[in-house]
A and B are shown apart, each in its own frame.
Chain A
């Protein structure tokens, strides 16, 4: 199994509070991704990173920001959480872009009340 961990695994928070999710990899892969999984929508890309300090937006980036200060860590921040951001969040990594297999972390279940 690819070495990917996510923390926390579960979080309940209130509307308007900031939330940061962490993804940590031990594979030294260049690309890192944040997805959200919702019923009927599958996996939707929020943001991705193609190197330290290099990030770009995905399909559903509004309300989210990311940072990557080290190869192994990719942080997802909800500046002011809303109920629509209640979801399961997955981090993924890959050596290359697009056609390369992505390896997913175990997920973080976030509930915004």
Chain B
């Protein structure tokens, strides 16, 4: 049972345009969500998070939106840069275990 689903294995975007990465979850106990970014041959690094009491959190070029009724969150990157090319993992937690999605590989073309 995949509690966190990232249905797009990959996404290709032109430099300067918006990248939108999507994530769906099924566990109603999740009250906190995180996005991690991973470059090849490195460990994942924290990118941005959002609490379930909010519907938006912004940090520079990165914004995460949460739609609790739809159990859906999305990560927007504006403008996209070639250095953003990486695998992005969505994760949900209810305070105990953190469950990660399968990841979406983003390609930003120069």
Size bracket, chain B contacts: 20 to 34
Q: Is the beta-carbon distance between A90 and B100 smaller than 8 angstroms? A: no
Given the interface pairs A42-B103, A43-B100, A98-B96, the reply to whether A104 lies near B34 with Cβ below 8 Å is no
B27 close to chain A: CB less than 8 A: no
* A-B pairs with beta carbons under 8 A, tally: 56
Q: Is the beta-carbon distance between B41 and A106 smaller than 8 angstroms? A: yes
**A contact residues around B34 at 8 Å (CB):** 101
Cβ of A78 to closest chain B Cβ, rounded Å? 20
B49 close to chain A: CB less than 8 A: yes
**A contact residues around B94 at 8 Å (CB):** 98
Q: Is the beta-carbon distance between B102 and A97 smaller than 8 angstroms? A: no
Q: Is the beta-carbon distance between A99 and B93 smaller than 8 angstroms? A: yes
**B contact residues around A106 at 8 Å (CB):** 41-43
A44 close to chain B: CB less than 8 A: yes
**A contact residues around B102 at 8 Å (CB):** 40-42
B60 close to chain A: CB less than 8 A: no
Q: Is the beta-carbon distance between B46 and A98 smaller than 8 angstroms? A: no
**B contact residues around A86 at 8 Å (CB):** none
User: A residues 9-58 with Cβ under 8 Å of B?
Assistant: 35, 40-45, 58
Q: What is the CA–CA distance of A44 and B41 in the complex, to the nearest angstrom?
A: 18
Q: Which of B9, B98, B101 contacts A102 (CB 8 A)?
A: B98
Given the interface pairs A41-B102, A99-B32, the reply to whether A104 lies near B96 with Cβ below 8 Å is no
B14 close to chain A: CB less than 8 A: no
Q: Which of B32, B42, B43, B101 contacts A42 (CB 8 A)?
A: B101
Can you name 12 A-B residue pairings with CB atoms under 8 Å?
A40-B9, A40-B102, A42-B100, A43-B89, A44-B100, A58-B97, A99-B93, A99-B95, A104-B43, A104-B44, A106-B42, A107-B43
Known: A102-B98, A107-B42. 19 other contacts (CB 8 A): A40-B9, A42-B102, A43-B91, A43-B100, A44-B100, A45-B97, A58-B97, A59-B97, A90-B43, A92-B43, A97-B95, A97-B96, A98-B95, A98-B97, A101-B34, A101-B46, A103-B45, A107-B41, A107-B43
